[in-house]
Structure 1
Amino acid sequence: MENLTRRNFFKMAGTVAVGLAASQFTGFKSALAQAPVIGSTDFTHTADINGSYAKVYFTKHIDAQHLIKLYDLINEGIYGKVAIKLHTGEQHGPNILPRDMVQAFQAHVPNSNIVETNTLYVGDRDTTEKHRETLRVNGWMFCPVDIMDEDGTAMLPVRGGMHLKEISVGKNMLNYDSMVVLTHFKGHPRGGFGGSMKNLAIGCADGQIGKRMVHGVGQVLPKTSAEWPGEERFMENMADSAKGTIDYFGKHIVYLNVMRRMSVDCDCTGTSAAEPTIPDIGILASTDLLAIDQASVDLVYAQPERYRHDLVERIESRKGLRQLSAMRELKMGNDKYKLISID
Structure 2
Amino acid sequence: MTISKRTLLKSVGALSIGAAISSLDPVEAATKSLEQAPVVGIKRVSAAQADKHTAKVYFTRKIDAEHLIKLYHLVNHDITGRVGIKLHTGERHGPDILPRDMVKAFQAQVPNSTIVETNTLYEGDRYTTKDHLETLKVNGWTFCPVDIMDADGGVDFPVNGKHLKKVTMGARLPNYNSLIVLTHFKGHAMGGFGGSLKNIAIGCASGQVGKRQVHGVAGTPPADWNAWPAKDHFMELLADSGKAVCDHFGRHITFLNVMRRMSVDCDCAGVRAAPPTIPDIGILASTDLLAIDQASVDLVYSLSKKQNHDLVERMESRHGLHQLDAMKALHMGAKTYQLIEI
Same fold, TM exceeding 0.5?
yes
Residues 36/162 of structure 1: CA separation in 2 closer, same or farther (3 Å cut): closer
Shift of 1:229: 2.2
Q: Is the 8 A contact 2:39 2:325 kept in 1?
A: no
Shift of 1:27: 1.8
| 2:86 maps to amino acid | K
Q: Is the 8 A contact 1:114 1:143 kept in 2?
A: yes
User: Whole-Å Cα distance in 2 between the matches of residues 276 and 99 of structure 1?
Assistant: 19
Q: Which residue of 1 aligns with 2:106?
A: 105
Q: Which residue of 2 aligns with 1:26?
A: 32
Residues 53/154 of structure 1: CA separation in 2 closer, same or farther (3 Å cut): same
Shift of 1:36: 3.4
Structure 1 unpaired stretches of 5+: 1-23
Q: Do structure 1's residue 40 and structure 2's residue 47 form an aligned pair?
A: no
Alignment of 1:1-343 (within 5 A): 25-28=31-34, 31-32=35-36, 35-37=38-40, 40-41=44-45, 43=47, 50-158=51-159, 160-342=160-342
Residues 224/62 of structure 1: CA separation in 2 closer, same or farther (3 Å cut): farther
User: Whole-Å Cα distance in 2 between the matches of residues 35 and 307 of structure 1?
Assistant: 17
Q: Is the 8 A contact 1:42 1:341 kept in 2?
A: no
Q: Which residue of 2 aligns with 1:8?
A: none
Shift of 1:226: 3.3
Q: Deviations over 1:285-311 (max 9, x none)?
A: 000000000000000111100011111
What SS class does the counterpart of residue 187 from structure 2 fall into?
Answer: strand
User: Whole-Å Cα distance in 1 between the matches of residues 335 and 293 of structure 2?
Assistant: 9
User: Whole-Å Cα distance in 1 between the matches of residues 157 and 44 of structure 2?
Assistant: 34
The sequence identity of aligned pairs, in percent, is 63
Q: Which residue of 2 aligns with 1:17?
A: none
Q: Deviations over 1:46-79 (max 9, x none)?
A: 7x95422100000000000000000000100000
What SS class does the counterpart of residue 156 from structure 1 fall into?
Answer: strand
User: Whole-Å Cα distance in 2 between the matches of residues 240 and 217 of structure 1?
Assistant: 15
Q: Is the 8 A contact 1:294 1:335 kept in 2?
A: no
User: Whole-Å Cα distance in 2 between the matches of residues 87 and 222 of structure 1?
Assistant: 27
Shift of 1:220: 3.5
Residues 50/254 of structure 1: CA separation in 2 closer, same or farther (3 Å cut): same
User: Whole-Å Cα distance in 2 between the matches of residues 112 and 312 of structure 1?
Assistant: 35
| 2:32 maps to amino acid | T
Q: Is the 8 A contact 1:26 1:42 kept in 2?
A: no
Q: Could you say what the CA RMSD is over the residues aligned between the two structures, in angstroms?
A: 1.6
What SS class does the counterpart of residue 66 from structure 1 fall into?
Answer: helix
TM-score when normalising by structure 1: 0.88
Q: Is the 8 A contact 2:153 2:170 kept in 1?
A: yes
Structure 2 unpaired stretches of 5+: 1-29
Q: Is the 8 A contact 1:25 1:39 kept in 2?
A: no
Shift of 1:168: 0.3
User: Whole-Å Cα distance in 1 between the matches of residues 288 and 178 of structure 2?
Assistant: 15
Q: Is the 8 A contact 2:50 2:337 kept in 1?
A: no
Shift of 1:334: 1.8
Q: Hey, which of these two has a bigger chunk of helix by percent? A: 1
Structure 1 stretch displaced more, 209-218 or 70-79: 209-218
